[in-house]
Amino acid sequence: MRLSVVDAERCTGCQICMFACTRRLGYAGMGKTAIHVKSVGGMEHGLSVVVCRACQDPPCAKVCPEDALVLRKGGGVLLNPSKCIGCGLCQQACIVSAIFWDKEAEKPIICMHCGYCAKYCPHGVLALEERREEVPDAVK
Amino acid sequence: MLSNDPLANVLYVDLSKKHSWVERREDLFGKYFGGAGVAIQLLTENCPAGIDPLAPEAPIVLATGPLDGLFPLGSKTVAMFKSPHTGNLGESHAGGRSAVAIRMSGIGAIVITGANTNPGYLSIEEGKAYFRDATTLWGMSSSVTAGRIVRQNESSAGLRSIMRIGRAGENLVTYADVSTETYRHFGRLGMGAVFGSKKLKAVVVSGNRTLEVADKVAYQALYDEINTAAVSSPVMKKYHDLGTAENVQPLSALGGLPTRNVQAGHFESAEAISGEHYAEHYLGRRLACSHCPVACIHIAALREPYQDEAYYYKTTMISYDYEPIYALGSMLGLSNPEQVLSLMNKVEVLGLDAMSSGVCLAWATEAMEKGLVTEQDTGGLKLEFGKADGYVAGVEAITSRSNEFWRTLGRGVDAAATRYGGVDFAMAFGGNEMPGYHTGPAGYLGFMLGARHSHLDNAGYAIDQKELTKGLIPAEQLAQKLMDEERWRQVLSSLTVCFFARGIYTPELTLRALAAAGYNLTAEQLAATADDIYRAKFAFKLANGFDFNKLTIPHRVFETPAVVSGFDEEYMRRAIAFAAGQLASPRG
């Protein structure tokens, strides 16, 4: 299973997914959030939802000097915080900028594809689903 | 409150000295929560009575509350300042990302004093202020473009709010607004002019953090309860589907939609500018304030051809709501939905308050009809109900302050009517141009008795529609009802929760939500705090010249049949006198 952005055009920018991701750990705010919503250059032009795509062969794991990123079944990685030295190389390796920074812990924040955010999305933007083979947009 | 909550950090900024510092104000946030409750204290502390609202020393206060960042619909920032429009309390609320951005920046309130020598903007990152130059942005024709430049110059996309003014604010029009995230506004009472007087083009706020709660498990459970209530509420569905524009047709049918300067309460073209029509033909996108599942912000996509070249188009995204549709549509007799959108867009890029602009232009149109104002006064501009071109030129003339007439109109409809005549149809209450409700005595008393002369102070329009249609009640009883509603709303605007969620945040739920933020109160303590905040606002008003006895009621109110008619000036005066007796003296 992985978290999927089903249709970013439905996103209203409410950021409830971002609050959910941090609340999952028992905090308010957005400081532990692994999914981010931002405008694509002014809210009027729509929003982009940035979250880990669960790569099968993740570049972030390849650059980790401490083997703190463990391959996750279903794609993506899981962070072993005890090994992580906070160097930030994984963040640089992610071309979609889906690795965020926990400035309170000085460690990366990487989506674990639990789907907690999707449960709260009021507008059907997010879903936790089986990995689909890549299909053209037109038939999605 | 929780002892480590960054909410109690107040960022003080002195623009003149380019100096900023943070003070812990648990004394204020612990007692008054935040938002309006804290802002009125900070305003009173920092704004000596009698000061010129546009003097450098006059403060701008922005405050959020303990529920922002914690719960859904905790999404509002309360701004307070001395209003250059009325001379007393300036209070304006906006959502967008402002409240969450301020809270995530690690502060609960911002107090800005002093003035820039050269135009500048303020960037607040993680609670620290940075002074940036904005010389090149000053005078830029569109506030939307200025916002885009600031956006490109700053980091933290998605975690920030950009509050900015347009040319109207720069030119000190006393009903200039401050817009945030392009489509939300600190609209009423002229904070844009206060920004302009400080040569402050914009304030950007950004940050990110976690916030502690009193009990993690209880917090998550209460969150789910509130969120479920929000997403399943029929009221919230209404705001999501058609938005506030849904009210256009029902109000017109009841006779409550101010039309052609309230010469009628029914607009024959209401359907053409209705929420239904806009949704079906123009709705391009819906947006939400941060942490709001409702998404009431409706953005129209207006596609217009250029006249000088075939197949050449521009598409403009324009935010619409009930109030601008009323003020820039029915109030001006405009029945073409695209012209109304164009005028709204013009008002947006100039940075004017839509309601005050529409009411001022409606008065000016009628004053021209009656010969009180001539084309000589307007510099050749002819205003006619139903003709959009004159109004587009009119808002530009107000903004440019092009001659004595437009400069006067740029100080509001009361100032203009005092100078040129026509006070009986100058539709302002307490100095603030009316919102879009010609519903009856409760609506109009609501505008007059509300601390910020807004329909949202006490929702008098709803009392007209729900209760007074069955018959008038004693004036004193009506005043009491309005005051009771306004008193409770001080709690919501101190938490700070969107008023659209007032049905969800009942006193009982509010106490539990406050407990999650570390506030343990009884219902009686909450009510007493609400009363303290309400009275503090009136103390500021009274100290700065507000006088219940000087409230004027344009005679038009009694002439045009409303949803509820049959009230007279004597009835209104009795209600005003009752409120004055309650509010002009300390709590007994």
- Tell me, what CATH number does A2's domain have? 3.30.70
Cβ neighbours of A42 in B, within 8 Å:
144, 147-148, 151, 182
Model confidence pLDDT, tens digit, residues B108-149: 999 999 999 999 999 999 999 999 999 999 999 888 888 889
Are residues B393 and B424 both part of a single domain?
yes
Domain boundary among B390, B410, B432: B432
- How many residue contacts between A and B have a Cβ separation below 8 Å? 104
Cβ neighbours of B231 in A, within 8 Å:
122
Are residues B263 and B152 both part of a single domain?
no
Are residues A59 and A13 both part of a single domain?
no
For residue B213, being part of any structural domain is answered with no
Cβ neighbours of B213 in A, within 8 Å:
26-28
My answer on whether omega of the bond before B510 falls inside 30° of 0, hence cis, is no
The whole-number pLDDT of residue A140 equals 43
B587 pLDDT tier (thresholds 50, 70, 90) = low
Q: Which residues constitute the domain of residue A47?
A: 1-51+111-129
Q: Is B297 exposed, middle or buried (0-12, 13-18, 19+ CB in 10 A)?
A: buried
Is A124 in the B-facing interface, judged by CB distances under 8 Å? no
> What is the Cα–Cα distance from B269 to B47, expressed in whole angstroms?
46
For residue B260, being part of any structural domain is answered with yes
Cβ neighbours of B299 in A, within 8 Å:
44
> What is the Cα–Cα distance from B449 to B452, expressed in whole angstroms?
8
Cβ distance B219 to A23 less than 8 Å, yes or no, reads: yes
Cβ neighbours of B320 in A, within 8 Å:
none
Residue range B272-284: mean pLDDT, rounded: 98
For residue A72, being part of any structural domain is answered with yes
Residue range B325-340: mean pLDDT, rounded: 98
Alpha-helical runs (H) found in B290-412: 322-328, 337-350, 354-369, 388-400, 404-409
Are residues B165 and B239 both part of a single domain?
no
The whole-number pLDDT of residue A133 equals 58
What is the radius of gyration, based on Cα positions, of chain A? 15
Stretches where chain A sits below pLDDT 50 are: 135-136, 138-140
Number of domains in chain B: 3
Cβ neighbours of A12 in B, within 8 Å:
286-288, 295, 297
Cβ distance B100 to A15 less than 8 Å, yes or no, reads: yes
For residue B534, being part of any structural domain is answered with yes
Domain boundary among B206, B223, B242: B206
The whole-number pLDDT of residue B143 equals 85
Are residues B409 and B463 both part of a single domain?
no
Q: Which residues of chain A from 24 to 53 reach within 8 Å of chain B, CB to CB?
A: 25-33, 36-39, 41-46
> What is the Cα–Cα distance from A130 to A35, expressed in whole angstroms?
19
Are residues B128 and B192 both part of a single domain?
yes
Residue that the structure tokens 């032009």 belong to = A45
Whether residue B588 is predicted with pLDDT greater than 50 in this model: the reply is: no
Q: Which residues constitute the domain of residue B114?
A: 6-206
Are residues A62 and A26 both part of a single domain?
no
Are residues A43 and A57 both part of a single domain?
no
The whole-number pLDDT of residue A132 equals 66
Closest residue in chain A to residue B283, using alpha carbons only: A44
For residue A18, being part of any structural domain is answered with yes
For residue A140, being part of any structural domain is answered with no
Residues near B529 by Cβ (< 8 Å), separated by ≥ 6? B31, B32, B33, B37, B491, B494, B521
Q: Which residues of chain A from 71 to 90 reach within 8 Å of chain B, CB to CB?
A: none
Nearest by CB to residue B211, choosing from A28, A37, A123, is: A28
Are residues B294 and B195 both part of a single domain?
no
For residue A86, being part of any structural domain is answered with yes
Cβ neighbours of A104 in B, within 8 Å:
209-210
For residue A139, being part of any structural domain is answered with no
Residue range B384-409: mean pLDDT, rounded: 98
Of B479, B475, B455, B517, the residue nearest B69 (C-alpha): B517
Q: Is B314 exposed, middle or buried (0-12, 13-18, 19+ CB in 10 A)?
A: exposed
For residue B571, being part of any structural domain is answered with yes
Helix (H) or strand (E) holding B447: helix B441-449
For residue B197, being part of any structural domain is answered with yes
Among A16, A24, A100, the residue to mutate for chain B (most B Cβ within 10 A): A16
The whole-number pLDDT of residue B447 equals 98
Are residues B318 and B172 both part of a single domain?
no
> What is the Cα–Cα distance from B181 to B164, expressed in whole angstroms?
9
Is B310 in the A-facing interface, judged by CB distances under 8 Å? no
Long-range contacts of B474-478 (CB under 8 A, 24+ apart): B475/B441, B475/B571, B475/B572, B475/B574, B475/B575, B475/B578, B476/B574, B476/B575, B476/B578, B478/B441, B478/B442, B478/B445, B478/B575
Are residues A24 and A1 both part of a single domain?
yes
B235 pLDDT tier (thresholds 50, 70, 90) = confident
Whether residue B465 is predicted with pLDDT greater than 70 in this model: the reply is: yes
Cβ neighbours of A22 in B, within 8 Å:
210
B586 pLDDT tier (thresholds 50, 70, 90) = low
Residues near B129 by Cβ (< 8 Å), separated by ≥ 6? B11, B13, B20, B122, B123
Cβ distance A104 to B148 less than 8 Å, yes or no, reads: no
Are residues A63 and A91 both part of a single domain?
yes
Are residues B522 and B441 both part of a single domain?
yes
Whether complex ipTM tops 0.85: yes
Cβ distance A16 to B293 less than 8 Å, yes or no, reads: yes
Residue range B49-58: mean pLDDT, rounded: 96
Min Cα–Cα distance to chain A from B55, Å: 33
Inter-helix orientation angle B354-369/B337-350, to 10°: 120
Are residues A32 and A46 both part of a single domain?
yes
Q: Which residues of chain B from 173 to 192 reach within 8 Å of chain A, CB to CB?
A: 181-183
Number of domains in chain A: 2
Model confidence pLDDT, tens digit, residues B7-25: 999 999 999 999 999 999 9
Domain boundary among B432, B449, B481: B432
Domain of A71, CATH number, reads 3.30.70.20
Model confidence pLDDT, tens digit, residues B537-549: 999 999 999 999 9
The whole-number pLDDT of residue B376 equals 97
Residue that the structure tokens 């701004």 belong to = B79
- Which tokens belong to B328? 């820039």
For residue B225, being part of any structural domain is answered with no
Are residues B529 and B476 both part of a single domain?
yes
Helix (H) or strand (E) holding B490: helix B475-495
Is B291 in the A-facing interface, judged by CB distances under 8 Å? yes
> What is the Cα–Cα distance from B417 to B556, expressed in whole angstroms?
14
Are residues B270 and B401 both part of a single domain?
yes
Taking the alpha carbons of B94, B98, B104, B105 in that order, is the dihedral positive or negative? Answer: negative
Cβ neighbours of A122 in B, within 8 Å:
231, 293-295
Nearest by CB to residue A12, choosing from B70, B182, B286, is: B286
Are residues A47 and A61 both part of a single domain?
no
For residue B224, being part of any structural domain is answered with no
Are residues B410 and B310 both part of a single domain?
yes
Are residues B425 and B452 both part of a single domain?
no
Domain of B475, CATH number, reads 1.10.599.10
> What is the Cα–Cα distance from B382 to B401, expressed in whole angstroms?
17
> What is the Cα–Cα distance from B124 to B118, expressed in whole angstroms?
19
The whole-number pLDDT of residue B217 equals 96
For residue B211, being part of any structural domain is answered with no
B531 pLDDT tier (thresholds 50, 70, 90) = very high
Residue range B335-357: mean pLDDT, rounded: 98
Q: Which amino acid is at A31?
A: G
Show the CA angle centred on residue B450, arms to residues B420 and B478, nearest 5°. 110
